[in-house]
Structure 1
Amino acid sequence: MTNQAEQDRINHVYRQWHGGAGLVRYAWHRSEILVQEADRARALAALLPVTVGADLSHVRALDVGCGHGSFLRQLIDWGATPSQLAGTELQPDRLEHARLHTAPGVRWHLGTLDAFLDGSMDLVSAHTVFSSILDDDLRRELAGEMWRVLRPGGWAMIFDFRYSNPRNKQVRKVTDVELLRFWPAEKRHYRTLVLAPPLGRAMARLPRLAPELLAALLPPLRSHFFYMAQK
């Protein structure tokens, strides 16, 4: 990666955010968070069998910006082999958390994708990573690195925001134009999900069916997407 100033900004934002009061609204036991995680799991369960296949035991996967390692643990729960998986992260404390709470064998890497060989992965994913990058050149560069590491026939997976957050100038939505420009492919899948978090929090005390029904009936209220493209 060449834009060191942008990387430094991202690191600074995450260091300020990590451990702060803002994390309370993302606590794992909150009802709206449980609904969001269920939405993601259902979308993944629909997308993975028609892309990399239902048998994950031989899938070589790299999660870029892996955070605490939750996506890789999900793959392991669904049958992936830990030694076939890898995660990269820029924050050492997050990477150490992932290492401590994930099955042994996963390859963890602090830094960028330079350490990974061309065409070495079947699946390369990035979850709410690109929305944290404000610089267009760095977005393009990271997308190119993900495409480089992916083997022909493999799949890139992006999970991110459909809309910008007017209250948080440190993130920016990922547009449809960017998806098609960064990961051009004849075979691709696009799926929207997750009721916009402010609505989800407002409806948290209502029966669980209420926010799910609202998100199902009004697609524009879904704040996130999955995009998968085959190289």
Structure 2
Amino acid sequence: MNPPDHTSQEQDRIRAVYQQWLASERVSAYAWHRPDVLEQSAARLRVAGQMLAATVGADLAHARVVDVGCGSGGFLRQLIDWGADPARLAGTEYQPERLALARQRTAPGVYWHLGDLDFAGDGSVTLAVANTVFSSILEPDARSRLAAEMWRIVMPGGWCMVFDFRYNNPNNAEVKRVRRRELAAWWPGQECRYRTLLLAPPVARRLGHAPHLVSALLTACVPALRSHFVYMVRKPG
């Protein structure tokens, strides 16, 4: 008898959770036009842009990037706006519906892949990105395997980049925070950067119609209220 494929089981669980999430009313809490969502999207792009410019470089035209769990392609579209060449970008996804949206909404030339990172060769990319992907993976071994695959495809001197949760959500058992020590164990690079950001969503939603200065001051002055992080690590070589 063959041993159970825990990676496949975890992928099936994530697909089911996402489908259930789409069918629920919770999706309205993340509508793009909500004041708290607009504010947090701007903050996230500001931090990501600063970190990319300081690591990969301000000129993204020659960067080869793979966005792991790319969803509907939003981050890759942002990279294109910042000067990346669509022909040097790739996005992977397990949800075919989201990948179809990515193809529809994004400039021609991006390579879209349904499934794992098996299409990418060793050391073939400048930057491997995972946005709120690891927190969706509850099984530790599955997390480690994905991290190893990202490390495999990054060229020496290239970077891994993660945007994810610092804290568990007591109302959502289907996500699990990513600890800093996990990041260090996955990717043993000496050059790394870690920044916390974003006012915790429950607080941000309550302040959605308050003056922007209120949430900005809380975010700046109370680091414990920052719910997310961006981490970048450089592969030696």
TM-score (norm 1): 0.98
Counting only pairs closer than 5 Å after superposition, residues 122-201 of structure 1 correspond to structure 2 as: 122-201=126-205
Q: How many angstroms apart in 2 are the aligned matches of 1:227 and 1:57? A: 22
Q: How many angstroms apart in 1 are the aligned matches of 2:126 and 2:23? A: 34
Counting only pairs closer than 5 Å after superposition, residues 30-49 of structure 1 correspond to structure 2 as: 30-49=34-53
Q: How many angstroms apart in 2 are the aligned matches of 1:187 and 1:133? A: 26
Q: How many angstroms apart in 1 are the aligned matches of 2:172 and 2:113? A: 29
Percent identity reads 56
Unaligned runs of 5+ in 1: none
Render the CA deviation track for 1:21-64: whole Å, top value 9, x for unaligned: 11101000000001110111110121011111000010000000
Farther off after superposition, 84-93 or 14-23:
14-23
- Partner SS state of residue 201, structure 1: helix
CA offset at residue 2 of structure 1?
Answer: 5.5
Q: State the one-letter code of the partner of 2:208.
A: A
How well do the aligned residues superpose, as a CA RMSD in angstroms? 0.9
After the TM superposition, which parts of structure 1 deviate over 2 Å for at least 4 consecutive aligned residues?
A: none
CA offset at residue 18 of structure 1?
Answer: 1.7
CA 1:183–1:200: 2 relative to 1, 3 Å: same
Q: Aligned residue for 1:7?
A: 11
TM-score (norm 2): 0.96
State yes or no: 1:78 paired with 2:65: no
CA offset at residue 20 of structure 1?
Answer: 2.7
Farther off after superposition, 37-46 or 71-80:
37-46
Q: State the one-letter code of the partner of 2:205.
A: R
Q: How many angstroms apart in 2 are the aligned matches of 1:85 and 1:14? A: 25
Q: Aligned residue for 2:102?
A: 98
Report how many aligned residue pairs link the two structures.
231
Q: How many angstroms apart in 1 are the aligned matches of 2:63 and 2:137? A: 28
